[in-house]
Amino acid sequence: MFYHLTRSGTEEVLSLILPRALAAGWRVMLRSPDPARLERLDAQLWTEPEDGFVPHGLQGGDWDSEQPVLLGSGAAVNGAQGVVLLDGAVPLPGDEGLERLWVLFDGNDTAAVQAARGLWTHLIGQGMAAQYWSEDQGRWAMKAEKKPS
């Protein structure tokens, strides 16, 4: 699922995705090549939502395999059913068998849009299903869908 962010920030979209995934009983890998971004998200997930927090950990700890949400740049060693890709992170070997792959990208960043387009083409070229969501009309709407081949 490709999310073209033009109005909402990454944190806002994660506040929708992560609780839903956890409620479904899934584990999630949140992947970014930016250590500073991962540290900011780590701090945020301890305090939001206001009525609790999202159980998680930063990759590299003793309990990586036990984390419901693991933040890092490597493989999903927590048995994740879904991976969130941020900041140009790419799928890794083994990710193709997951229930869900979320790609969040900044629609105001030309390079990020081009990278997302390239990833879309690559994934559908491998026969994977894909959906493209945009919020350009003020709410999220699916703009394109490719069924698996």
Q: How far apart are CA 81 and CA 11, in angstroms?
A: 20
Which of 73, 82, 70, 64 is closest to 35 using CA atoms? 73
24 secondary structure, DSSP code? T
Angle between the N-to-C axes of helices 35-47 and 10-23, in degrees from 0 to 180, rounded to the nearest 10? 60
Listed in sequence order, the residues at least 6 apart from 69 whose beta carbon sits closer than 8 Å to its beta carbon are 18, 22, 27, 28, 29, 30, 45, 54, 55, 56, 57, 78
Fold entry, domain 2-146: Rossmann fold (3.40.50)
- The pTM score is 0.93
Task: Please classify residue 73 by burial: count the beta carbons closer than 10 Å to its beta carbon, then call 0-12 exposed, 13-18 middle and 19+ buried.
Answer: middle
Query: How would you write the pLDDT of the chain (149 residues) with one tens digit per residue?
Result: 999 999 999 988 998 899 999 999 999 999 999 999 999 999 988 887 677 788 999 999 899 999 999 999 999 999 999 999 999 999 999 888 899 999 999 999 999 999 999 999 999 998 889 999 998 777 889 999 999 87
| Length of the chain (residues) | 149
**What pLDDT is stored for residue 148 in this prediction?**
84
Q: Which is nearest to 72 in space by CA: 27, 32, 108, 42? A: 32
Residue boundaries of the structural domains of the chain = 2-146
Q: State residue 49's pLDDT score.
A: 66
